[in-house]
Structure 1
């Protein structure tokens, strides 16, 4: 709900502070007093284009500040504010400020945080719904008609939305499987050739590292072969050092009992023989491990070359070749078994499509029934609003499959025909702005719907009508405003008398300076303003009495 509006240096308004409350508020004033200026100022808050012509003559800049309060902020609006990193605590007002410079530049703020004007336009629909002479939003916009009809019908779309998502997933899975099989089939010959190459080599996990280590070890063996051969005499042959040590141990063993030192010497010699034996074993193992075999080395290097060449061909590492081989086998197996899987996916997609269509058809039928009820309800409102020659129709048409969606397979649009025999046309194409506003009022009354915005404004809905029609308009505006906030710019005393609050817009001049101001009228002021609206320039006692009767009757 709009709670406050502050305007500085907008055209004829020098400074203005207005407070608003719930219910029906009416704004009146003589023609040319500046009612449009208020709407232009509010338009800046809603993200309209900044026009330097709005800045009061002689001033550098103008500003408008509006405060809104919510019992519960709409979730979609909160998401937009969250995306813009604007944190508003529950119960905290939303304060929008727009500043316009004389050169046409502008800045926007939400709760003192700079924002883009695009964000103001995004949240405008949640704040103010404006119906006037050039209405192109709200109920006029066909994009919202389906949601309005569903709300009127009490349609539960949760199941349909779930069925749509399931249908879309099934279609995507089927399309992905088809693409994969088509891609694999197109590459089948190449895949078979690649797999044949891999099968011929049979690469193994960590094989590259093992081959490289074997090659390096063999290359070291070639380098150390001379040294190892020279060391071989230490343990081979009867005259080797180890053989002599063993002979000395046997001789010492015969005489060791003759003296303790001989026994100790024998023990030391035995230990030396054991250590020498270990050394002999290690030298034998090293010689065997580093045995240089030119044929084996050539085999290892050829294998490494082939593996690395194949890895480059497949744009992977040698260690990844086994995985690549398994992947090729799986892909080729998938081609062979793909038709069966494809059939299963196609069957699932067809079932999901059928489930969606069944629910969508039920929603379609519910919409058609609700459309007929809504047409009757709107028709009942037309005659009291001097639209008895007009006809209203809710068009529900089924869309082609490429336009189906989570909300069903229907297009919904509100159509009117203003004259007998005339074709039905969209609301937006109606010729008369006054007629359009009354159609909007009739539709809103029939829908018993507040439009989703916290504040609804009707601009001169009573243009060109009076008497009973104006009374009917006022009664319906008051009914719509009962549980919300509705502002009406009006020239009709019958509408003004229905207002819970009454603002009078007046223009005054001091020398060459002209200013527009707005007064919140008390009971006496209301009676006098409505009397003026009834009688014109000269307010008569009869007009005052009639104004009092209108107010009491409202």
Structure 2
């Protein structure tokens, strides 16, 4: 729901800030005061191309912003979350802000929740928040996609549509798999090549741990002579018999100290340290002895290790990977080989699976088509009745279901929708997007929205000059329909008829005045007394009579 609209230096509006609530909000004012500028502002916030002519004369840029509550706009919240633009830390992410600047030199910038956004993103999000029904190009209902969504929403086709989408996804997945396999062509040469490559790799132990151990063993054998000499020398110094060894010297030292320990008790602490050292020395000696026993000058074993290492490095160069990546490369080749070996059989199975998926999609799409056909008849009948009530007697509304021309499965079903309308009796129905009269287009849009009440997920609907070219009883009916729409969805309406304005739950007035030779517009929210006076002005013109004031009070009383 739209909660706030702020405008600065836009056309003849220097600065305005409007607060909106639920229900129907009407906007009135004298001709040329700039009532429709509020709708234009929402249009630019919905992604319309920048127009430097909308920047107020003398200003460098126009600034527009709109704030929306997301409690009734789950699709918009999901979109924001997917785009990483949802402000979860503020009000539990229950609001979003659209902001845009239009520069006098023709440039523009846009933001969503303070983050820079493209016009495409702005339009996509705004399409989930607000629908504009007016006499300009930003007509939500003129899009076939929107028409289809409205028809499905009105008919409650969610389950049938989900079944079609799931069947289409399955069918498309299988088609893509077959196309990928078909592009491979004759794979016999590739299989032979992979078998040879994989065979070479499988003959060696290529796991990273095995290669590391082989390298370590090779280094030991390469330096075996030096290692043996070092171990022998160390063992002799530590525990040998040919010269006083470190072990024997340590024992003698402890014995000498213990003979005089009674004269200096602290020598006992030294003896404890030397005892610990003796234990460490014994362990070191034992470990050196074991290492020495493992060392062996075996030329044949060393040559075998060199050959194995050579083969591993040759394989690494051949396959252009590091030696420690050879095992992963081997596994990848094996997986590709297995896939190619089963490709022929898979293609044969795919043909049957694709045919089954096609039949499942057709069955699901057929059920959806039947549901849409029933819904189209009901929506057309209800809307046609409403068109007559809105002053277009003899008018007719139809919903045409057009089969899709494509051969691939469509997640939206087997048809597209086109809304057709005949504004007058005897005229053939034409696409809604080709209706010439802006006032008729707005009233037809209103009739469709009222007929489909509750089926449209967009929370805010805006109607610009929906009452153009009508008056009297028809104007009152238009107002009543707008009020009924406002009971289910937030509705905004720019109007010049008191019968329509009286039906609003809230009322804004746009006025203009000249200051220093420059015309400016101002917007104010009216209280009950001001509303009565504004309706009287709309009824009586410049000179407001007692009769006009009395009639205005009656309109407000009847609406209430």
TM-score when normalising by structure 2: 0.72
Q: Within 1, Cα distance between the matches of 2:462 and 2:318?
A: 71
What SS does structure 1 have at the residue aligned with 2:468? coil
Distance 1:184 1:313, change over 3 A: farther
1:346 and 2:348 aligned: no
C-alpha RMSD over aligned residues: 4.2
State the SS of the aligned residue for 2:392: coil
Aligned-residue offset at 1:437: 0.7
Alpha-carbon distance in 1 for matches of 2:529, 2:221: 114
Aligned-partner Cα distance in 2 for 1:15–1:322:
70
Matches within 5 A, 1:23-422: 23-80=23-80, 83-84=84-85, 86-87=87-88, 88-90=90-92, 93-109=95-111, 113-116=114-117, 118=119, 119-155=121-157, 156=159, 157-179=161-183, 182-188=185-191, 190=193, 338-419=343-424, 422=427
Distance 1:61 1:167, change over 3 A: closer
1:246 corresponds to which residue? none
Do the aligned residues in 1 keep the contact of 2:450 with 2:485 (CA within 8 Å)? Answer: yes
Deviation, 1:311, is 6.6
C-alpha spacing 1:302/1:430, structure 2 compared with 1 (3 Å): same
- TM-aligned CA distance change 1:340 to 1:441, over 3 Å: same
When structure 1 is superposed on structure 2, of 511-520 and 150-159 the one drifting more is: 511-520
**Deviation by residue 1:328-350 (Cα, 9 ceiling, x = unmatched):** 88877776665444333332333
Tell me, what secondary structure is at the counterpart of 1:27? strand
Pairing of 1:478-489 with structure 2 (within 5 A): 478-489=483-494
1:274 corresponds to? none
Task: Tell me the TM-score normalized by structure 1.
Answer: 0.73
What per-residue deviation string (whole Å, max 9, x for no partner) do you get for residues 32-90 of structure 1?
A: 11213333333444344444443433444443443333434424434325523633433
For residue 548 of structure 1, what is the aligned residue in structure 2?
553
Alpha-carbon separation, structure 2, partners of 1:10 and 1:193: 74
**Which of the numbers 452, 458, 480 marks the counterpart of 1:453?**
458
**Could you say which residue in structure 1 is the equivalent of 2:20?**
20
1:512 to 510, 517, 529: 517
The structure with the largest alpha-carbon Rg is: 1
CA spacing shift, 1:387–1:337, aligned 2, 3 Å = same
* 3-state SS of 1:352 partner: helix
When structure 1 is superposed on structure 2, of 5-14 and 305-314 the one drifting more is 305-314
CA gap 1:402/1:84 in 2 versus in 1, 3 angstroms: farther
Q: What is the Cα deviation at residue 445 of structure 1?
A: 1.2
- Distance in 1 between residues matched to 2:537 and 2:177, nearest whole Å: 72
Verify the 8 A CA contact 1:170 1:349 in the aligned structure 2.
yes
Q: Closer, same or farther in 2 for the Cα pair 1:308/1:542, shift >3 Å?
A: closer
Q: What is the number of residues matched between the two proteins?
A: 489
Contact 1:403/1:409 (<8 A) preserved: no
Instruction: Name stretches of at least 5 consecutive residues in structure 2 with no aligned partner.
Output: 225-291
Tell me how far apart the structure 2 counterparts of residues 319 and 58 of structure 1 sit (CA, whole Å).
Answer: 70
Q: Contact (CA 8 Å) 1:404, 1:410: kept in 2 or not?
A: no
What CA distance in whole angstroms lies between the structure 1 residues aligned with 2:465 and 2:393?
20
| Change in CA separation of 1:176 and 1:389 when aligned onto 2, cut-off 3 Å | same
